[in-house]
Structure 1
């Protein structure tokens, strides 16, 4: 390996690491607020990439009907909850949940999707995929918000498996790749830096800074985090745990969809590709101890670099090398932490 090859591998590692960092932060975000290990995070990456590819191919996106099905199920749940505990209900808000997917479907089937500017295609992708985040929380997590972490993990696994099957139904088994945002490049010595890599790093860095400032500096971000530690206390202080959960799932879906849009021009995405991508983000979050945003981001970039250099030295074992990182990290944290006896129920 010479210096030029090392620089090329470093570029690939930082580009991939930036995506892993976004996913690590979203996983950490959801966990700190709702105690949910959000395994379906990767599906938003795959859905975002494949939706963008479908729009560029001029194909109406079948995923809009899944959005409508979730919206109708959400309306039914709201009506049943109102029946059990009669209260003042904003009918327009319930109706909007069902009308929104229908309006979006009308746009998708009438607009010349392939001729639209890329920014409009990306906006339509966000409008289609991101609302599924709050919908998943309302349908599958909000009713069991007070359950143990193990139960929430089992539900996450079930939701992940269901979404993978629905993704196969909506997009098919064929892979897809989108057009790059720009064809320009940047020459740094002997290395030509791809413009898409610059987009990935720039957008990822911007989102990381915004998330860190929001949750570490703002009172509102701290209030959302407080809802995870004491739901009753947060409610007594005027913080709605339901709103906190929906808000964090919305942010997680937004981050996942943006990651899918960014990564789609770099690699071919399939309906089940998101799981491996999010799993590497999870390794980064584990390195950060599921408590620190900067450490999670740094750990995810480290994962990307190790993956890139492993693909050069031992390409057949690069996945094994990446996931083996969890073992020494968990061992070190286990030795460092103090053992606490579980309380008897």
Structure 2
């Protein structure tokens, strides 16, 4: 291996690490607020990239019909809850179930833009409401369940969404156009514009999330729920709404990741699973609690995957997922074990 090959592998590892870092941030966010290990996070990536690819072909993405079906189901459930005397936040419900899906439908069916930026915006409008709708439909009724039960439900939901992806998008893969076709030469290393777009977008998104959690009331409320759910409820913070917001942010992060990775590799209906799983490895490095450590773990996973693909390409996935073993061993040696009931 010479210096030029090492630089190319490091560049590839940075791109992969940036995507895995976004996945890790979403997983840590959802778990800290709702105790859900959200296995289907990768499906947002695949659905986002494939929806954009279909719009590039001039077709209506079937994600719109999935969004309409989930919205109708949630509206019926909320109406049933209201009929039984349960308080329902209709403002938030109509926002997730009517306003955002209606806006996305109008843009897809009536506007039909040809510009990449406009199609990317529509894709995010299609993907963002899927998070809170899935939370209300699947996870909110199980808010008091154990973490193991929520994990089992996540696995089941992942299988359902993968099947839906095969039904909607088919078995053929797709690529999307790059956001930048520029090429830069820095010494012996050639840097593509898409590489800079991925790193820049990831850094910007991380900065926006930092400001959101540190400077906004909603972000501080999410942090309070993550620290102590019962205490946050006693202080008047609506924990159900916190679940909506955390899943919406996770969906947006997944959609952005799909838009960024679509021009780099061919995306299939089940591609998101491996991407999400590697993001989960990075989140485990951070203990499903620390955002900076999860980001560092994602960069480590990206570099390990990149260099192992050169030295032992047949075993690169094994090497990446083996990383979780020493991390879990170290955390088990340094953590205080308590009973689940406590």
* TM-score normalised over the length of structure 2: 0.94
Please report how far the alpha carbon of residue 223 of structure 1 lies from its aligned counterpart in structure 2 after TM superposition.
2.1
Give the distance between the partners of 2:88 and 2:97, measured in 1 at CA: 17
What does 1:218-257 align with in structure 2 at a 5 Å threshold?
Answer: 220-257=218-255
Counterpart of 1:144 in structure 2 is 142
Whether the 8 Å CA contact 1:45–1:256 is kept in 2: the answer is yes
Post-superposition CA distance 1:1-42 (Å, at most 9, x none): 000000000000001100000110110011111111111100
Computed over aligned residues only, the root mean square deviation of the Cα atoms, in angstroms, reads: 2.1
Distance in 1 (alpha carbons) for counterparts of 2:137 and 2:262 = 29
Q: Secondary structure at the match of 1:128?
A: helix
Aligned-pair CA distance for 1:184: 0.6
1:174 equivalent in structure 2:
172
Residue 213 (structure 1) shift: 3.7
Change (3 A) 1:151 1:229: farther
Alpha-carbon distance, 1:208 to partner: 1.4
Say if 1:134 and 1:247, in contact at 8 Å, map to a contact too: yes
**2:13 match:** 13
Q: Which residue of 2 aligns with 1:32?
A: 32
For residues 91 and 39 of structure 2, the distance between their equivalents in structure 1, rounded to whole angstroms, comes to: 33
Shift of 1:214: 3.0
Number of residue pairs matched by the alignment:
342
Query: Aligned equivalents of 2:168 and 2:105: distance in 1?
Result: 14
| Matching residue of 1:195 | 193
Q: TM-score, normalised by structure 1?
A: 0.93
1:74 counterpart residue number: 74
Unaligned runs of 5+ in 1: none
Q: Distance between the aligned counterparts of 1:270 and 1:263, measured in 2?
A: 12
Alpha-carbon distance in structure 2 between the residues aligned to 1:95 and 1:225: 23
- Whether contact under 8 Å (1:142, 1:242) holds in the other structure is yes
* Cα distance between partner residues in 2 of 1:93 and 1:57: 33
Question: How has the CA–CA distance of structure 1 residues 178 and 225 changed in structure 2, closer, same or farther, with 3 Å as cutoff?
Answer: same
Contact 2:45 2:255 in 1 (8 A): yes
Once the two structures are TM-superposed, the CA of residue 217 in structure 1 deviates from its matched residue by 5.8
Is residue 153 of structure 1 aligned with residue 120 of structure 2?
Answer: no
Q: Given that residues 227 and 240 in structure 1 are in contact (C-alpha distance below 8 angstroms), is that contact kept between their aligned partners in structure 2?
A: no
Residues 1-345 of structure 1: pairs in structure 2 closer than 5 A? 1-85=1-85, 87=87, 90=90, 94=94, 97-98=97-98, 101=101, 104-113=104-113, 116-216=114-214, 220-340=218-338, 342=339
Q: What displacement does 1:236 show? A: 1.9
Q: Secondary structure at the match of 1:61?
A: coil
CA distance in 1, matches of 2:212, 2:102: 33
Q: 1:56: Cα distance to partner? A: 0.8
Task: Report the secondary structure of 1:193's partner residue.
Answer: strand
C-alpha distance after superposition, 1:154-178 (max 9, x if no partner): 1111111111111111111110001
> Does the 8 A contact of 1:65 with 1:101 survive in 2?
no
* 1:212/1:293 contact within 8 Å kept: no
CA-to-aligned-CA distance 1:27-69 (integer Å, 9 cap, x gap)? 0011111111111100000001001111111111112111110
CA 1:287–1:232 in 2, change beyond 3 Å: closer, same or farther? closer
Q: 1:143 to 1:191 in 2, by over 3 A?
A: same
Q: CA deviation at 1:111?
A: 3.8
C-alpha displacement of 1:289: 1.3
Cα distance between partner residues in 1 of 2:125 and 2:15: 26
CA contact (8 A) 2:107 2:122 kept: no
